[in-house]
Structure 1
Amino acid sequence: MYLHTQLLINEIAADEPDPAAANALQEGLGGQFGEMRTMMQYLFQSMNFRGDAASKPYKDLLQGIGTEEISHVELIGTTISQLLDGSPRYQGKKSDPVDQPGAGGAAPLKIALDTSNIHHYLVGAQGALPVDAAGNPWSGSYVYNSGNLVLDLLYNLMLESTGRLQKCRIYEMTDNKTARSTIAYLIVRDQAHENAYAKALESLGVNWGKLLPIPKTNAEQFPEVKKLLDLGLQSIQYTFSADNLSEAGKLYRGASPSNDGTELSTQQMPDGFPMTISPERKEEFAPGLDPELMALIQATAEQEMKEADSPKEATSASAKPAAAKKK
């Protein structure tokens, strides 16, 4: 079973909307090496895992990383939504003409035609989509699950390495603080997962360093990344095990394969950051609840609460006729 905490795994920095950056981030979400891919690949590998009790640490490692990837999908999807929240009715920079609804006869959603993925507006109501940066739908055929532990771990190490490489490129495409805060976090966590799979392979006697040299992206040159590396976030793996039965710590320990002088360790889960609900977008015909629906919901809730507060009265009342009949 999975538990959901209503917190984001990382804080999203505030900045102006940027539809072009949102579209670039779609590659990191729904692309071949994106977060949807890693989430599905690791969860399927853990569900299909075969082995004896001695193999449990490997299953737990896959399970923990796969669970974290669910939170990455949530984080990057929320970031894309925030980057798209910039129609003419957005109240941001007063000097920006798009903040003037219908200025000069402009169409409310003209911004969708300028520099973005138009499907973000036509289909997603200014929200993330399960597609790559070219608009291609995410495909389950991306998922690799051979059933062979060594092959799966090697493929996962390659997947994390390629994902980190792509995120470094996306970082270089935009200076938007909202986009970069999420990209930097995912770059560092990809390194943590590289360390996890590298350590697991080492425990199996695989000399992965000669077989698959990890690309040197020099990501610490990015200030947002450097800040997280200084906190040691690249050397911590979360188990997300509510019952603390995970044995992933048997693998994720010792000197980091990144050779950065840090020691690997496991934690149950990070503290998280507050989540907010996006505002309505009337020009997208994407409202929440209108006054009539709100009144109906409130009335229904009050009635249900009233009935819940007096269950004994209802029970005793229904029992009286039966009792009288028996008498």
Structure 2
Amino acid sequence: MYFHVQRLINDIASDEPDPAAANALQEGLGGQFGEMRTMMQYLFQSMNFRGAAAKPFRDVIQGIGTEEISHVELIGTTISRLLDGSPRYQGEATDPLDTPGSGGAIPLNIALSEGNIHHYLVGAQGALPVDSVGNPWSGSYVYNSGNLPLDLLYNLMLESTGRLQKCRIYEMTDNATARSTVAYLIVRDQAHENAYAKALESLGVDWKTLLPIPKTNAEKFPEVKKLLDLGLQSKQYSFDLAGQSEAGRIFQGMSPSKDGTTLDASEQAPEGVPSVISPERLEEFSPGLDADLVALIQATAEMEMADVVDSFGPVATK
């Protein structure tokens, strides 16, 4: 059972729209080594886990899988913000929906030359479950062998490849919106590398000088260094409201990354930042609600919310 807190796990910096950067980030969302795969792979492994004696390993996988849900939300929201608004669109909310834009501008012509046309043609300037060349995300990416050491090895490979690709994406753009999210994911991927490496270490693996993978100068990226200075690469969250996670029995001691830090699994979840809903995109006819529909939706929402009790238990009935 999962609870949703309406906060993003990390802040997204503000910058101009950049559809090309948005398309590069699609690889980190829906690619073979993207956040959708990590989320699904770890959740399926934790759901199918067997062997009560190995519960700490299950809790490590489950905690990381739960965090990956928030990473899907973060990178998807970042893509949406990078696409949010055509630079040429200067229309107002009162303009007719069939008017392309102020002064006869073509608000969506950027879709013909930048990034992925489906971001504008299919997704109304939002993230899609695809990779950077438009291939749909596939459930065949998910690896769940049922063999614990083998699954842990695959998970470490997945985090390492994801981190490698995000380091490359960082070098592809100087857009602050893209870099703020990519830097956070570079650091958290290293934390997850550390978690799976520590789990394998407890099974007899000696990493010596192998980690982190890849060995890069990512710590020199200013956005990354800020997070490393906070020790974010050595924290793991339980996302466990009941305090039953035993992941701390695995995620402890000196970091396998040999960076002099100590692993810390004491926090339930990061504080996060406020989640803000983007404005309507009139040039996309999305959501395209007129005043009467907006009023009806608001009235219905107020009527329904009046019956909801703010608790985790059953909703009160009259």
TM exceeding 0.5: yes
Structure 1 or 2: larger helix share?
1
Deviation at 1:278, TM superposition (A): 1.0
Aligned pairs for 1:102-251 (under 5 A) are 102-103=102-103, 105-209=104-208, 214-251=213-250
**Aligned-CA RMSD value:** 2.2
Secondary structure of 2:236's counterpart equals strand
User: Are 1:201 and 1:208, in contact at CA under 8 Å, matched by a contact in 2?
Assistant: no
In structure 2, give the amino acid aligned to 1:33.
F
Runs of 4+ aligned residues of structure 1 deviating over 2 Å after TM superposition are 88-91, 100-103, 206-215, 287-290, 294-308
In structure 1, give the amino acid aligned to 2:286.
A
Q: Share of identical aligned residues, percent?
A: 78
Distance, in Å, in 2 between the alignment partners of 1:303 and 1:225 is 46
Which residue pairs with 1:24 in the alignment?
Answer: 24
Deviation at 1:207, TM superposition (A): 3.0
Which residue pairs with 2:8 in the alignment?
Answer: 8
Give the gaps of 5 or more residues in structure 1.
92-99, 309-314, 316-327
In structure 2, give the amino acid aligned to 1:23.
N
User: Are 1:18 and 1:86, in contact at CA under 8 Å, matched by a contact in 2?
Assistant: no
In structure 2, give the amino acid aligned to 1:272.
G
User: Are 1:102 and 1:108, in contact at CA under 8 Å, matched by a contact in 2?
Assistant: no
CA displacement 1:177-200 (0-9 Å, x = unmatched): 000000000000000000000000
In structure 2, give the amino acid aligned to 1:59.
R
Distance, in Å, in 2 between the alignment partners of 1:233 and 1:23 is 27
Question: Given the superposition, is the C-alpha separation of residues 183 and 306 from structure 1 closer, same or farther in structure 2, using an over 3 Å criterion?
Answer: closer
User: Are 1:16 and 1:83, in contact at CA under 8 Å, matched by a contact in 2?
Assistant: yes
Deviation at 1:287, TM superposition (A): 2.3
Deviation at 1:290, TM superposition (A): 2.5
User: Are 1:23 and 1:133, in contact at CA under 8 Å, matched by a contact in 2?
Assistant: yes
Secondary structure of 2:192's counterpart equals helix
Matched, 1:41 2:12: no
Deviation at 1:211, TM superposition (A): 8.3
CA displacement 1:155-207 (0-9 Å, x = unmatched): 11111011000000000000000000000000000000000000000101123
Distance, in Å, in 2 between the alignment partners of 1:189 and 1:127 is 24
Which residue pairs with 2:313 in the alignment?
Answer: none
Which residue pairs with 1:311 in the alignment?
Answer: none
Matched, 1:291 2:291: yes
Distance, in Å, in 2 between the alignment partners of 1:290 and 1:170 is 39
Question: Given the superposition, is the C-alpha separation of residues 159 and 146 from structure 1 closer, same or farther in structure 2, using an over 3 Å criterion?
Answer: same
User: Are 2:7 and 2:274, in contact at CA under 8 Å, matched by a contact in 1?
Assistant: yes
Between 206-215 and 248-257, the greater mean CA deviation after superposition: 206-215
Deviation at 1:213, TM superposition (A): 7.7
Secondary structure of 2:76's counterpart equals helix
User: Are 1:168 and 1:219, in contact at CA under 8 Å, matched by a contact in 2?
Assistant: yes
Q: TM-score with structure 1 length normalisation?
A: 0.86
Deviation at 1:217, TM superposition (A): 1.9
Deviation at 1:116, TM superposition (A): 1.2
CA displacement 1:21-73 (0-9 Å, x = unmatched): 00000000000000001000000000010112x20100000000000000000
Distance, in Å, in 2 between the alignment partners of 1:245 and 1:306 is 34
Between 241-250 and 210-219, the greater mean CA deviation after superposition: 210-219
